[in-house]
Amino acid sequence: MTAMNTKPHYRTVWISDVHLGTRGCQAELLVDFLNEVTADTYYLVGDIIDGWRLKKSWYWPESHHAVITNIMEKAKNGAKVIFVPGNHDEFAREFVDMTFGHVDVRMNDIHTTADGKRLLVIHGDEFDGVVKYARWLAYLGDTAYNLAIMLNRYFNAARRKLGYGYWSLSAYLKNRVKNAVQFICNFENAVAHAAAKRKVDGVVCGHIHHAEKRMIGNVLYCNDGDWVESCTALVEHKDGELELLHWADMRNMAMSYVTPNSASTPASLGLGRLMSLFRTAGDIENTGKPQSPRIANTGAATTSPVGKTA
């Protein structure tokens, strides 16, 4: 993969819904994005690691490990990294208002752009009634979604043999099914309404795997999309302008899937060991002693969740 002539630098980058630990995760494209783009601040807006899937079966190829390593290196080298856990990596919510591996963990955050706009940053699962009130249905939906992603993989393998580029069958179906379209609309309106109640100028979220940037009433609604179907990120330019980047299109390449035979971290490590590695990475000083977790100074606007979360 040829590198871009000049690596773009942004004031802020938001990514979410990476779903590391699943076969549908486009980790290689994300590593490429992280290698080619730099920023002062990175927001990880939830569902970075898919704890739901890892509890069922262990899948952790080298490309997934490379995503974590890349992010931790950026934090260690001075970039500000803020992690807002989602429902799939809710195991990290026990670390809210702490810092580990130079990464601040927050339930939500208020980001101020270069031109003075205040943006509420949340994952968004608290506005999903299925996740909030019917977790068994959410797990069932997650299974169905992963089945669609698996079919999508075979579908695109056939397309590649015929000389066609990547096309997301799952995204197409989601955007054509009436109930799914209505759910997205209801979700966006609910998130924008919550942001208006917080008296902010806009909101950045993830959760529904649908990249969007538009005004809803007086609120700028931004969804940074995902790294399963669309491979999108929201970025802030140095003047405060926000833009959605569609990385697969920008790189002019078909999305690739990691094959099941790729080298994986042994399952015996377990999810607890993974969190331990994530928690301590980058915290070892030259003395060899790990730093103690510190309380992040998040300010009054960021110390409590927007709503009850699953």
The predicted structure's pLDDT at residue 275 = 45
* pLDDT string in tens for the chain (310-residue length): 444 457 899 999 999 999 999 998 999 999 999 999 999 999 999 999 999 889 989 999 999 999 999 999 999 999 999 999 999 999 999 999 999 989 999 999 999 999 999 999 999 998 875 334 434 334 445 555 566 666 676 666 776 777 666 666 566 655 555 455 566 788 899 999 999 999 999 999 999 999 999 999 999 999 999 999 889 999 999 999 999 999 988 875 434 434 444 444 433 333 444 445 444 444 444 444 444 333 333 333 333 333 333 3
Q: List pLDDT tens digits, range 118-133.
A: 999 999 998 875 334 4
Count the Cβ atoms, other than its own, within 10 Å of residue 91: 17
Burial category of 41 from C-beta neighbours within 10 Å (exposed 0-12, middle 13-18, buried 19 and up)? middle
Distance separating the N- and C-terminal Cα atoms of the chain:
40
CA 268 to chain centre: 26
Q: Which pLDDT tens digit goes with each residue over 250-265? A: 875 434 434 444 444 4
Q: How many CA atoms lie within 13 A of 116 on its CB side?
A: 0
- The pLDDT tens digits for 266-277 are 333 334 444 454
d(CA 159, CA 209): 23
Domains of the chain and any CATH numbers: 10-302 (3.60.21.10)
d(CA 271, CA 269): 7
Strand order of the β-sheet with 80-83 is 242-246, 232-236, 9-15, 38-44, 80-83, 103-105, 98-100, 294-295
Token readout for 271 is: 């999810």
